[in-house]
């Protein structure tokens, strides 16, 4: 894959990762007995859905040129980025098992990239 296509793929991964944090913020804003109004006017939810929509369109554009067997493994980076962002911005714990699993995912991505 070209550097530009790889960059666009990584932008998709980042968009998906940030979207997950936004979904979490949306969930935290919902009251225990959330009604339709609470869902419709949840700014975090609307923003997350918009970001996911944009990211999906970008991903489809990436897949026009990138082989799926090269592009898709990069989505595994979200398993590292999301917990790190959750720790950084939401104060969620970051466990050693999560970091270890992330390293295994990175190894798998590197292995997959070498197969190209």
> Do 43 and 86 form a contact (C-beta atoms < 8 A)?
no
Res. 116 pLDDT band, cuts 50 70 90: low
Nearest to 97 by CA among 75, 80, 82: 80
Does residue 114 carry a pLDDT above 80? no
Express each pLDDT in 60-76 by its tens digit.
999 999 998 888 889 98
**Model confidence pLDDT, tens digit, residues 46-56:** 999 999 999 99
- pLDDT of 92 strictly over 70: yes
pLDDT recorded at residue 69? 87
pLDDT for 61: 96
Nearest-CA neighbor of 5 among 51, 62, 43? Answer: 62
What pTM was computed for the model?
A: 0.88
State the pLDDT at residue 112. Answer: 82
Report the candidate in 4, 9, 109 with the shortest Cα–Cα distance to residue 63.
Answer: 9
């Amino acid at each position: 894959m070209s550097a530009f296509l790889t960059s666009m793929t990584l932008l998709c991964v980042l968009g998906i990762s940030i979207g997950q944090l936004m979904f979490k913020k949306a969930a935290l804003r919902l009251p225990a007995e959330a009604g339709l109004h609470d869902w419709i006017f949840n700014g975090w939810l609307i923003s997350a859905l918009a970001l996911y929509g944009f990211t999906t369109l970008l991903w489809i554009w990436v897949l026009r040129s990138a082989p799926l067997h090269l592009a898709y493994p990069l989505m595994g980076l979200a398993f590292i980025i999301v917990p790190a962002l959750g720790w950084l911005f939401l104060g969620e714990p970051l466990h050693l098992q999560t970091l270890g699993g992330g390293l295994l995912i990175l190894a798998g991505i590197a292995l997959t990239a070498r197969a190209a």
